[in-house]
Structure 1
């Protein structure tokens, strides 16, 4: 309530946030301070006052600040553990204090052991780490929510030999990319200031990553943190190497498992035979699209994505119990996949399709390029892809064999697919296609399956076998004979073409 207070603070970090739609415009200026006791405090300068303080606040300098507002810290990732932050206004006064005695406590370093123990680790609170770079992966480009983004992975090691993976995004990539192309043999020490932790849900492993504009990288400096690190480092050091491989982004533990060779890949027939619930890897080829679900609105709450239902004049989310005027446009695609001994329906969400075809739901809806059966041609590019799928196997998949397995993860690297399923890459395309046509016919089998609810809990292959082996399963013998001919390799397709159909004349009638 008191807006006439004064503080004496040292600048830890000063940076600008630009408008998303127009990067040339500055939305705000942010400053992180510390006081005489070393407590960090965040300050926000709104865009209407940015020009006034554009060349102000040098990192490491001490300032006196007077006449400011105290507001709740509204940022998701917090540079300060304090509940509140200060906001500049038209009455705020700033004075640069020269030659003043003031402690310097610029960093809040966490040890690798603390980070990996996850004890008291908050993913929303930013901190600092220092380590020696031992691995740098090749930079990559990813399409994230329709926007091209760059990332680079590298591994840090502390004096105790504990290793920690770090991912840098966008403008931070170039800061370490130069070292990836360098031939220097000197130890590369880096202090990552204001990074955040990220815990992989599958493995529980912790990695760190950059956090938008606030993150800063310092290399091989002569300051106190670097000197202390050098004193603790032994002479036996892990040599630094450059790695040409894909990033661990998004796949987290699943991708590292794939690279290590410890991943167990199952066949489709093993999935159906064992009836074991859980998440499993399957190497398979997409052969055609069963059914796309166009288009539906999902909840806008972050992390929810629940399909919205119409409730009166509003769209309602049953999970969040919230009403929305509109939702996020999404779609999903059911595809038929094949390996060497079976086939199954898999369910791909638009997030997986975005990685595969690089197009969002909004753009896909507006496209005028239609292929077979009215599908967008962009979706047809999914056909004939050899992929590693991580699928969720649940009870409902065995209650009805037309129920699709939801896809949780996808690995597209052909070298990794070939490593775990070399026969899938080597087999000829027409072998898998002809096998699927013999087992499942798009015109006959699926029509029969759809109109016969008695067999909906059975496999489509079992339906065919049952109908061909049982004498009384189909009343009409002609229909039964045609089904047998359809699946018999001894029947010629020319026979049906040579058949003569007599058309009666009106006089004969």
Structure 2
């Protein structure tokens, strides 16, 4: 990576290299290359369904999009989720707004897990941005989907119907920039590739363990014995958190492949964290820290849609998303060769 700046004296340009992996040698040739248009903003929206179901991790910041309904005008008996924003622009915008839906994007928001009977809190962070009815593609696409939702007679009905708008977008999100490939094709790839497939979990590679000690802020492996600077998030840590890492064998007809399930997907499947599972083993009198918990065996035989990153060098594929949604599974079946379904 590099950038060009003009020196104060003028007359010539100075190139400053920002990445030590980039070298210029005597035979290096630099040519002008026309770059494709780079979008100003790229969003990876987390749906309300993912947040409410616990699929969205509270360890990372998220982008959310939705239709504004009201500001503390109606109280709910049992609210499930509350969005906190301290930006005065929203109330100011409401005073001037006349007609039409108000679509809001909140970037880099923090998910706060519920405590007791309290709802899930979505709160803006220091670096969050609030976009209100901006003239951008994402808001226009969301507004177009809302046009198909019938007019509602009550606020609760509106919230329910707005929630349904995400169903189609969740399915689209699963397939974005990821072609559907069969397990046979995945085994033949000689380069890294993101793709989607359908497969059944056949067995675990028990000898490779099921968990590791990771950074408390991200998923990078950490050192539980000392204070260290995490190579993933760059933060100082004094401890670690148990996280899942399970190697599995999956099958599709007569073909098999090795996948690696990480923490988020395992929690989604098992409804328990690695730390909680380790505590259960200790409470049950298990003294072997490498013992494979029986509770994990409940996922054997599951047919799932997998979004993966194929890693030919290690002959494994890393799972980055899973789904048991029937619409997603049916869509994959239609795109797979008939003899692979």
Q: Contact (CA 8 Å) 1:334, 1:345: kept in 2 or not? A: yes
Pairwise CA distance, 1:122: 12
- Is 2:274 the partner of 1:364? no
Pairwise CA distance, 1:416: 1.4
Instruction: Find 1:392's aligned residue among 309, 325, 329.
Output: 309
- Is 2:32 the partner of 1:118? no
Give the 3-state SS of the residue equivalent to 1:348 in structure 2.
strand
Give the 3-state SS of the residue equivalent to 1:272 in structure 2.
helix
Q: How does 1:287-298 map to 2 (within 5 A)?
A: 287-291=202-206, 293-298=209-214
* Cα 1:345–1:189 shift into 2, 3 Å: same
Pairwise CA distance, 1:282: 1.4
- Looking at secondary structure, tell me which structure has more strand per residue: 1
Whole-Å Cα distance in 2 between the matches of residues 351 and 191 of structure 1?
A: 29
Q: How does 1:262-277 map to 2 (within 5 A)?
A: 264-277=179-192
Tell me, which stretches of 5 or more residues in structure 1 are unaligned? 1-115, 124-135, 157-167, 174-186, 200-208, 216-236, 398-402, 433-509
Whole-Å Cα distance in 2 between the matches of residues 408 and 332 of structure 1?
A: 12
TM-score (norm 1): 0.36
Q: Contact (CA 8 Å) 1:281, 1:390: kept in 2 or not? A: yes
1:164-211: CA deviations, max 9, x gaps? xxxx981259xxxxxxxxxxxxx763475xx62369xxxxxxxxx963
- Is 2:328 the partner of 1:419? no
Q: Contact (CA 8 Å) 1:138, 1:153: kept in 2 or not? A: no
Tell me, which stretches of 5 or more residues in structure 2 are unaligned? 1-37, 69-78, 85-98, 110-120, 129-145, 151-160
Whole-Å Cα distance in 2 between the matches of residues 240 and 122 of structure 1?
A: 24
* Cα 1:414–1:381 shift into 2, 3 Å: farther
Q: Contact (CA 8 Å) 2:198, 2:329: kept in 1 or not? A: yes
1:419-442: CA deviations, max 9, x gaps? 312699x99xxxx9xxxxxxxxxx
Match of 1:299 in 2: 215
Match of 2:81 in 1: 170
What RMSD in Å do the two structures reach over aligned CA positions? 5.1
Give the 3-state SS of the residue equivalent to 1:326 in structure 2.
coil
Give the 3-state SS of the residue equivalent to 1:265 in structure 2.
coil
Question: Larger Rg: 1 or 2?
Answer: 1
Whole-Å Cα distance in 2 between the matches of residues 351 and 274 of structure 1?
A: 26
Give the 3-state SS of the residue equivalent to 2:53 in structure 1.
strand
Whole-Å Cα distance in 2 between the matches of residues 198 and 410 of structure 1?
A: 23
* Cα 1:245–1:322 shift into 2, 3 Å: closer
* Cα 1:270–1:364 shift into 2, 3 Å: same
Pairwise CA distance, 1:378: 2.6
Q: Which has the higher contact order (CA 8 A, sep 6+)?
A: 2
* Cα 1:279–1:240 shift into 2, 3 Å: same
Pairwise CA distance, 1:408: 1.2
Pairwise CA distance, 1:386: 1.2
* Cα 1:213–1:326 shift into 2, 3 Å: closer
Match of 1:142 in 2: 53
Q: Contact (CA 8 Å) 1:315, 1:325: kept in 2 or not? A: yes
- Is 2:201 the partner of 1:286? yes
1:375-430: CA deviations, max 9, x gaps? 32331121111111111113413xxxxx4311111122123112312699x99xxx
Match of 2:243 in 1: 330
Q: Contact (CA 8 Å) 1:293, 1:331: kept in 2 or not? A: no
- Is 2:222 the partner of 1:308? yes
Instruction: Find 1:350's aligned residue among 230, 240, 263.
Output: 263
Q: Contact (CA 8 Å) 2:215, 2:230: kept in 1 or not? A: no
Give the 3-state SS of the residue equivalent to 1:118 in structure 2.
coil
Pairwise CA distance, 1:283: 0.9
- Is 2:155 the partner of 1:240? no
